[in-house]
A and B are shown apart, each in its own frame.
Chain A
Amino acid sequence: MKKYYNLRLFGDKISFLVNRKALITFLLLAAASAGVFVISTGTGEMKISPLKVVQVFFGGGSDMDRLIIQSFRLPRIIVALMVGMALAAAGGILQGIIRNPLASPDIIGITGGASVAVVGFLAFFSDKNNALTVSINWMPLAAFAGAAILAFLVYFLAYKDGVSPIRLVLIGIGLASLMKALTTLMMVFGPIYQASQANIWITGTVYGSNWDKVAMLVPWTLMFLVMAFILARNVNIQELGDDIAMGVGSTVQKYRFLLLMVSTALIGGAVAFGGGIGFVGLMAPHMARRMVGSAFGALLPASALIGGILVMAADLIGRTLFSPLEIPAGVFTASIGAPYFIYLLFKTRNA
């Protein structure tokens, strides 16, 4: 069987080289995401069969099933899916533009900026009884602002006739450590209740998702995911190094800035509603690379789906395994992802 086929429409105006294996893998991943989505929706205090879940999706099912699914479970699972996709796609972009497989939203400090903002938010807007003086609905905004400010700071400090990948990552690591220190400092000085509240956020959880959040997160994430996919070929070229990228006529600095903004927007949205879920942004792109190869046109969508699956699965385990106790999803992203990741590395070690 041929490895590639040519997709050409309107006399080459739309033309892509499609890697057959990557396409099949992508479709399988999409099916797996849908599967996890349905299973997760049906699992909880009240079990609902996958068939009934699908019926509810298409407007059928009993009133009880509809209530549980639509009011309690769906928003949370949709948020988990979006958060996972956003973090994984952003991680992939960062690894590409920084040209380092260790790059991820947490490493270059963007998540750290959000953490500081959230801990600060809890500290400044709490009264003596640990009750918030403003609505908790402002917390996502604080997280988003923290992420965005930090990304700009990294870019600004790394700037010297444009930004080089190495400056970007070093400044990022420096700021990430600083943010970590600030977060710890504020948690130590604040009351213990706040610290534990903040800790749950930092670990990352999609607990407390509702349709309002879905309505904000879904369009935001999808919009920037589409942008990321459009920009994929520019990540490809940046991965070959600045000299090659400039040699083939790419405006490297412009696209680096754009790509950094797109990944920041994705991360900002994700941490705003999912907290500091770690490891997904680092691991999902690597898993995708093992499955579909290094071309970003295939890697980014595959990575996004893997991220979605990881966070949905982590949340599913978190809310069912020790039920009625809720464990933040962030605890499990690593514990379910890492073994599979190591398995993939092991399996492809000679490839």
Chain B
Amino acid sequence: MTAGQAIATKDLTLSYGDTIIINELDLEIPKGEITVFIGGNGCGKSTLLRSIARLLKPKSGAVLLEGEAVAKLSTKDVARKMAILPQSPSAPEGLTVLQLVKQGRYPYQTWLKQWSTEDELKVRNALKATGMEELKDRTVDSLSGGQRQRAWIAMTLAQDTDTILLDEPTTYLDMTHQIEILDLLFELNEKEKRTIVMVLHDLNLACRYAHNIVAIKDQKVFAQGKPEHVINCGLVKNVFGMECEVTIDPLFGTPLCIPYGKGRCILKGQGL
């Protein structure tokens, strides 16, 4: 299914001050698939995503978007090819869903041309795809967490890019809404062949929705590939430092990770 790569990094080194986060990383992200970054807290998966989205300047090395160095492209050109939804974004009080989604058209607008026929079409499609049509005149702050996240996703869709990056799009959502958001993203990938790259915390959901998993550890990619191929006890132990059993998700046949730990055995003074 892979038709080349959407994004690649070359010798990419990222740092905050003197602390190296990602070291000389060569990574290829396939086009038209869902790629999920996993790893422990602070392993640099969000940093890597931000750097791919050019929100963070690399210390050295480069990010390539469809073969071209992102740093050499104009930021508006990049914005027409790649959208990013950062972690828990916030909208100003009183902003309506329509006004928010419309902002996704920024890279196509000028100060006199702020609502072209195409803008209208793309915004309408984005609202439709996310099921937000009915809610478009509501203010973002009046929505539930799941609806709010859908509104933000609609904004990135309005940007009309082949690639969408999302940093933990399910954070702070309850289980129902987590599934709802991931289903939506999966559907977008299936129907419109958009490349989706995201950071997820929930390993099992990552296995269920990803075509391609990138496990990050010690400033490097520890493993990359189909969830069925890369997720096993050894990997989880290495990447997360956690003992677990890996079995098969009875619904989807994808790997399902069940962590050890003490749980109720604490009461009996013994652990598994």
Contact A294:B95 (CB < 8 A) given known A7-B115, A241-B90, A248-B103: yes
Taking the complex as formed, is A174 at the interface, i.e. its CB lies under 8 A from any CB of chain B? no
Taking the complex as formed, is A197 at the interface, i.e. its CB lies under 8 A from any CB of chain B? no
Taking the complex as formed, is A61 at the interface, i.e. its CB lies under 8 A from any CB of chain B? no
Whole-angstrom CA separation of A101 from B120 in the bound complex: 30
Taking the complex as formed, is B210 at the interface, i.e. its CB lies under 8 A from any CB of chain A? no
A289, B103: Cβ atoms closer than 8 Å: no
CB nearest to A297 among chain B residues: B114
B84, A3: Cβ atoms closer than 8 Å: no
Taking the complex as formed, is B109 at the interface, i.e. its CB lies under 8 A from any CB of chain A? yes
Complex interface residues of chain A between 94 and 138 (CB less than 8 A to chain B): 96, 99, 101
Taking the complex as formed, is A16 at the interface, i.e. its CB lies under 8 A from any CB of chain B? yes
In the complex, which of the residues A101, A242, A295 contacts B93, with contact meaning CB atoms closer than 8 Å? Answer: A101
Taking the complex as formed, is A233 at the interface, i.e. its CB lies under 8 A from any CB of chain B? yes
Complex interface residues of chain A between 244 and 296 (CB less than 8 A to chain B): 244, 246-251, 289-290, 293-295
Whole-angstrom CA separation of A289 from B94 in the bound complex: 7
Complex interface residues of chain B between 71 and 89 (CB less than 8 A to chain A): 74-80, 83-86, 89
Total interface residues on B, using CB and 8 Å?
46
B55, A247: Cβ atoms closer than 8 Å: yes
Whole-angstrom CA separation of A294 from B92 in the bound complex: 7
In the complex, which of the residues B50, B85, B93, B109 contacts A289, with contact meaning CB atoms closer than 8 Å? Answer: B93
Whole-angstrom CA separation of A288 from B53 in the bound complex: 35
Contact A3:B137 (CB < 8 A) given known A246-B75, A247-B84, A248-B159: yes
Taking the complex as formed, is B111 at the interface, i.e. its CB lies under 8 A from any CB of chain A? yes
B114, A15: Cβ atoms closer than 8 Å: yes
Taking the complex as formed, is A236 at the interface, i.e. its CB lies under 8 A from any CB of chain B? yes
CB nearest to B140 among chain A residues: A294
Taking the complex as formed, is B54 at the interface, i.e. its CB lies under 8 A from any CB of chain A? yes
Taking the complex as formed, is B96 at the interface, i.e. its CB lies under 8 A from any CB of chain A? yes
CB nearest to B77 among chain A residues: A249
Residues of A with C-beta under 8 A to B96? 293-294
Residues of A with C-beta under 8 A to B98? 4
**Interface-centre pick from A236, A237, A240, A248 (highest chain B CB count, 10 A):** A248
A251, B75: Cβ atoms closer than 8 Å: yes
CB nearest to A161 among chain B residues: B57
Q: How far is the CB of B130 from chain A (nearest CB, A)?
A: 17
- The size class of the interface chain A forms with chain B is 35 or more
B103, A237: Cβ atoms closer than 8 Å: yes
Whole-angstrom CA separation of A244 from B55 in the bound complex: 9
Taking the complex as formed, is B91 at the interface, i.e. its CB lies under 8 A from any CB of chain A? yes
Residues of A with C-beta under 8 A to B137? 3
Whole-angstrom CA separation of A246 from B107 in the bound complex: 10
Whole-angstrom CA separation of A233 from B111 in the bound complex: 7
A15, B115: Cβ atoms closer than 8 Å: yes
A294, B113: Cβ atoms closer than 8 Å: no
B79, A247: Cβ atoms closer than 8 Å: yes
Contact A243:B89 (CB < 8 A) given known A14-B113, A15-B116, A249-B80: yes
A12, B99: Cβ atoms closer than 8 Å: no
Q: How far is the CB of B59 from chain A (nearest CB, A)?
A: 13
Q: How far is the CB of B83 from chain A (nearest CB, A)?
A: 6
Whole-angstrom CA separation of A317 from B102 in the bound complex: 43
Residues of B with C-beta under 8 A to A293? 94-96, 99
Whole-angstrom CA separation of A16 from B116 in the bound complex: 8
Q: Which A residues contact B (CB, under 8 angstroms)?
A: 3-4, 6-8, 12-17, 96, 99, 101, 230-231, 233, 236-237, 239-244, 246-251, 289-290, 293-295, 297, 351
A/B interface sample: 30 pairs, CB < 8 A: A15-B116, A15-B117, A17-B102, A17-B114, A230-B111, A233-B109, A233-B114, A237-B103, A240-B100, A241-B90, A244-B86, A244-B89, A244-B103, A247-B53, A247-B85, A247-B86, A248-B83, A248-B104, A249-B75, A249-B76, A249-B80, A249-B106, A249-B107, A251-B75, A289-B94, A290-B94, A293-B94, A293-B96, A293-B99, A295-B99
Closest 9 CB pairs of A and B: A249-B79, A249-B76, A243-B86, A249-B107, A12-B116, A248-B106, A17-B115, A294-B94, A247-B84
